[in-house]
Amino acid sequence: MGLRIIRQEDLDTGFSHGLGVQRMAEITHLPTGSAGSSMETVTIPPGGPAAAYRSGPDDAVLHVVAGNAILSSGSALEEAIAAGPGDTVLVPAGTMFQALNDSPVEALQFILVRGN
């Protein structure tokens, strides 16, 4: 099969990642049948954190579209970096990480790509 488009109405919105956090999966096993890759648009409300998460067996890439994030990593989330619109962050395989929206007003939105 060649190119395939996933329309917005076909996105997988059936999972949560923290209080008020919205995740829309563009590429996963549900809308596409893809077993090894995923791409998600994640929106975190002002001041909100996403649940801490350990990345899988492959690296993940996070690209900030809007807002400002504090990204924590490490076994106790002891390391933190700031990322803003246009910044791209590599999350090595097996890394514990968490995104926090650093703004009390603006939503944080990023694209998260995982897979082989």
What the chain holds in terms of domains, given with CATH numbers, is 11-115 (2.60.120.10)
- State pLDDT tens for residues 14-55: 555 555 555 555 455 454 555 667 778 888 999 988 888 888
Helix residue spans in 1-116 (DSSP H): none
Q: Give the tokens for residue 14.
A: 């059936």
pLDDT band at residue 68 under the 50/70/90 scheme: very high
Rounded Cα distance between 37 and 59, Å, is: 11
